[in-house]
Amino acid sequence: MKIHNFNAGPSILPKEVVKKSAQSVINFNDTGLSVLEISHRSMDFLEIIEKTTFLIKRMMGLNEDYAVLFLQGGATLQFSMIPYNLMYKKAAYLDTGFWAYNAIKEAKKFGVVKVLFSGKNINYTSIEKDYHIPCNMDYFHCTSNNTIVGTQMKIFPKTSTPIVCDMSSDIFSRKLDFCQFSLIYASAQKNIGSAGMTIVIIKKEILGKNKKNIPSYMDYKIHIQNNSILNTPNVFSIYTSMLTLEWIENQGGLFVLEKKNQHKAKLLYNEIDKNSLFENKIHEENRSNMNVSFFLKNKDLEKEFNKIWKKENIVGLDGHRYLGGYRASIYNALPLESVQFLIEIMKEFERKFS
Ligand code: PMP
């Protein structure tokens, strides 16, 4: 039975990744052991961690100035780990949505936070481009894709201040100049492996200036020294991430996926704009290519629409609990056919109810 999985996260994974992971849960690389049973200090696992790091750096065009870490605690832990390591006095943040707001809330516990733009009063429907980053900021924090409301930053500021970016919901979905960032973090699972792991990519030169006595798990330097195995990492999640990165390369890499993602998003936004029953509230130039939010203009039709898409084996289309409406998450692994199928359902609904 074909299921169209529009979940926001954990979300759809490439079929090949699920299949290979399932085989490896039974017998990993003909070792006779499950991937769930290997030691995190074994050669088998060291190879996984090395390969995953290598693939990430190659895909992003990053050299040895950068370290790649696989941590736990989600992006949520990064909200405090970042200021703990990088904030001496002040940092600049963009408040572009729920997760950005949470990052700001945590950072305020460590020092002064200057919010350069807040979209709160406009329900986060657009992202300001013209803001000024004062020169005395320890870093500038932004969220490249706002998963809940469905906005995405298309350009990043040119600044000498280190840029820290939460890419949890659009990492590996497009080609960017990744060298412009001093720290990138992304928690699984959307475009990377199974949940329970957060990738942190750090330009090493930004560390060590803060002389605070940081608890070991919170200290990036200690994780770098320990090659992400300071404590037991999430072996399975790192393994599935490696498989997902291999899948991305087999698809042709970030540029190819970016084009596919743009195409899927364009088709869906076109339908929402054309269809008399639906609307999208996001400023056109900030529309996300990963999370497409939309609403029924007439809320009374919700029951009918919900009945139809659920019957057609579409899952995960409900909007976030804070927002209501609908959200189609169309990450890398979501096939074009699922988007086309949803569009057909929306067209059919319009024919019946407009
Ligand atoms: N940032 C963004 C952009 C997110 O989408 C999410 C949720 N997936 C988070 C942060 C929080 O991540 P976690 O639940 O892994 O802490």
Asked whether 24 and 48 are in contact (CB, 8 A), the reply is: no
Distance from Cα 129 to the centre of ligand 1, integer Å: 23
> Does residue 141 fall inside a structural domain?
yes
- Residue that is last in its domain, among 198, 222, 251: 251
Report helix angle 254-274 to 336-353, nearest 10: 0
Ligand 1, atom 2, lies closest to the CA of 168
Domain edge (last residue) among 205, 224, 251:
251
The per-residue pLDDT for 209 is 81
Question: What are the tens digits of pLDDT across the range 182-227?
Answer: 999 999 999 999 999 999 999 999 998 877 899 999 999 999 999 9
Alpha helices per DSSP H over the chain: 15-26, 43-60, 74-86, 98-107, 220-225, 235-251, 254-274, 302-311, 336-353
Domain limit, last residue, from 201, 231, 251: 251
Q: How many CB atoms lie within 10 A of CB 214?
A: 15
Residue 7 CA, distance from chain mean position: 13
Residue 211: what pLDDT?
75
Query: Domain check: are 208 and 316 in the same one?
Result: no
Residue 210 and residue 138 share a domain: yes
- Per-residue pLDDT of 236-264, as tens digits, reads 999 999 999 999 999 999 999 999 999 99
Q: Distance (Å, rounded) from C-alpha 278 to C-alpha 296?
A: 5
- With beta carbons less than 8 A apart as the criterion, state whether 65 and 204 touch: yes
Instruction: Show Cβ contacts of residue 241 under 8 Å, excluding neighbours closer than 6 positions.
Output: 52, 70, 188, 192, 193, 194, 197, 199
Mean pLDDT, residues 135-140: 96
Q: Which of 255, 237, 259 lies closest to 52, judged by CA?
A: 237
Residue-range definition of the domain harbouring residue 186: 15-251
**Residue whose CA is at the smallest distance from ligand 1 atom 9:** 75
How many percent of the chain have pLDDT more than 90? 96
Q: No. of H helices and E strands in the chain?
A: 9, 14
Which two three-digit tokens encode residue 78? Answer: 């990064």
One domain, residues 205 and 116: yes
Whether residue 341 is contained in a domain is answered as yes
Residue 6 domain-assigned?
no
In a domain? residue 228: yes
Q: What pLDDT score does 111 carry?
A: 96
Q: What is the DSSP letter of 319?
A: P
Q: Do 261 and 207 belong to one domain?
A: no
Q: Are residues 260 and 244 in the same domain?
A: no
Report whether residue 187 contacts ligand 1, using a CB cutoff of 6 Å: yes
Statement to judge: residues 335 and 223 lie in one domain = no
Please state, in angstroms and as integers, the Cα–Cα distance from residue 19 to each residue in 13, 49, 111, 268, following that order. Answer: 10, 20, 46, 29
Provide the pLDDT for residue 322.
87
Query: Is the CB of 280 inside a 6 Å radius of any atom of ligand 1?
Result: no
- Classify residue 86 by burial, with Cβ atoms within 10 Å: 0-12, 13-18, 19+: buried
Q: Is the pLDDT of residue 328 over 80?
A: yes
Work out the pLDDT band at 1, boundaries 50, 70, 90.
confident
Indicate the pTM of the whole model.
Answer: 0.98
Statement to judge: residues 76 and 192 lie in one domain = yes
Report the nearest atom of ligand 1 relative to the CA of 78.
16
Q: Return the closest-CA partner of residue 170 out of 97, 113, 267.
A: 97
Which of 94, 99, 146, 293 is the best mutation target for the ligand 1 pocket, counting ligand atoms within 8 Å of the beta carbon and taking the most?
99
- Please identify which residue in the block is written with the tokens 């350069």: 116
- Nearest CA among 9, 49, 98 for reference residue 334: 9
Give the CATH number, domain containing residue 168: 3.40.640.10
With the most atoms of ligand 1 within 8 angstroms of its CB, the residue from 98, 143, 187 to mutate is 187
| Cα dihedral across residues 258, 326, 116, 166: positive or negative | negative
* 62 and 159 housed in the same domain: yes
Reply yes or no on whether the pLDDT at 91 is more than 80.
yes
Q: How far is the CA of 189 from the centre of ligand 1 (A)?
A: 9
Pair 142, 290 in one domain:
no
When pLDDT is averaged across residues 12-29 and rounded to a whole number, the result is 98
Percent of the chain past pLDDT 70, that is, above it, reads 100
**Looking at residues 267-288, what average pLDDT do you find?**
98
**Burial of 98 by CB count in 10 Å (0-12 exposed, 13-18 middle, 19+ buried)?**
middle
Residue 88: half-sphere exposure toward Cβ, Cα within 13 Å: 9
The answer, yes or no, to whether the previous bond of 83 is cis (omega within 30 of 0) is no
Q: From the CA of 11, how far away is ligand 1's center (Å)?
A: 13
Helix pair angle (43-60, 235-251), 10° resolution: 40
Average pLDDT over residues 299-310: 97
The reply to whether 116 falls in a domain is yes
Q: Annotated catalytic sites, by residue?
A: 99, 166, 190
Average pLDDT on 80-108 reads 97
**Do 237 and 271 reside in the same domain of the chain?**
no
* 169 part of a folded domain: yes
Which pLDDT belongs to residue 271? Answer: 98
Q: Is residue 7 part of a domain?
A: no
Count how many residues are written for the chain.
354
Residue 3 forms part of a structural domain: no
Give yes or no: residues 51 and 165 share one domain.
Answer: yes
- Residue range 283-304: mean pLDDT, rounded: 97
Could you tell me the CATH number of the domain that includes residue 266?
3.90.1150.10
Question: 7: Cβ below 6 Å to ligand 1?
Answer: no
Task: Provide the domain count of the chain.
Answer: 2
Cα separation, 202 vs 207, in Å, equals: 9
Residue 236's Cα: distance from chain center in Å?
19
Whether residues 46 and 135 share a domain: the answer is: yes
What residues have CB less than 8 Å from 213, skipping those under 6 apart?
A: none
